[in-house]
Amino acid sequence: MIEVSILRRVIIEMDISNIRKNEPLSKHSTFGVGGLAKYFFEASDIDDVPEIIAWVESQGMRYFVMGIGSNILFKDSGFDGLVVKITAKKISAEGDTVIADAGAPIAAVAKFACDNDRGGMEEFISLPGTVGGAVYGNAGCFWKEVSDVLTRGWVLKDGKLTEVDSDYFKFKYRWSALKDSHEILLKAAFRTEGGCEKSRMKDVLAVRREKQPWGKTAGCFFKNPGSTPELSAGFLIDKCGLKGKTVGGAKISMKHANFILNTGDATASDILELADMAKKAVKGQFNIDLDPEIQIIG
Ligand X SMILES: Cc1cc2nc3c(=O)[nH]c(=O)nc-3n(C[C@H](O)[C@H](O)[C@H](O)COP(=O)(O)OP(=O)(O)OC[C@H]3O[C@@H](n4cnc5c(N)ncnc54)[C@H](O)[C@@H]3O)c2cc1C
> Which residues contact ligand X by CB under 6 A?
30, 65-72, 86, 102, 127-130, 132-134, 136-137, 139-141, 178, 184-185, 217-219, 295
Q: Which is nearer to ligand X, 35 or 132 (CB)?
A: 132
Residue 8 CB, nearest distance to ligand X (Å)?
A: 27
Give residues with Cβ within 8 angstroms of 47, minimum separation 6: none
Q: How many CB atoms lie within 10 A of CB 245?
A: 17
160: amino acid identity, one letter: K
281, 237 Cβ separation under 8 angstroms:
yes
Angle (CA) 267 233 239, round 5° = 95
Q: Which is nearer to ligand X, 102 or 201 (CB)?
A: 102
Residue 46 CB, nearest distance to ligand X (Å)?
A: 10
Residue 196 CB, nearest distance to ligand X (Å)?
A: 20
Q: Which is nearer to ligand X, 178 or 282 (CB)?
A: 178
The SS3 assignment for 66 reads strand
Residue 278 CB, nearest distance to ligand X (Å)?
A: 17
Residue 60 CB, nearest distance to ligand X (Å)?
A: 20
Q: Which is nearer to ligand X, 130 or 166 (CB)?
A: 130
Residue 29 CB, nearest distance to ligand X (Å)?
A: 7
Q: Which is nearer to ligand X, 55 or 259 (CB)?
A: 259
Q: Which is nearer to ligand X, 3 or 214 (CB)?
A: 214
**Largest pairwise CA distance in the chain:** 59
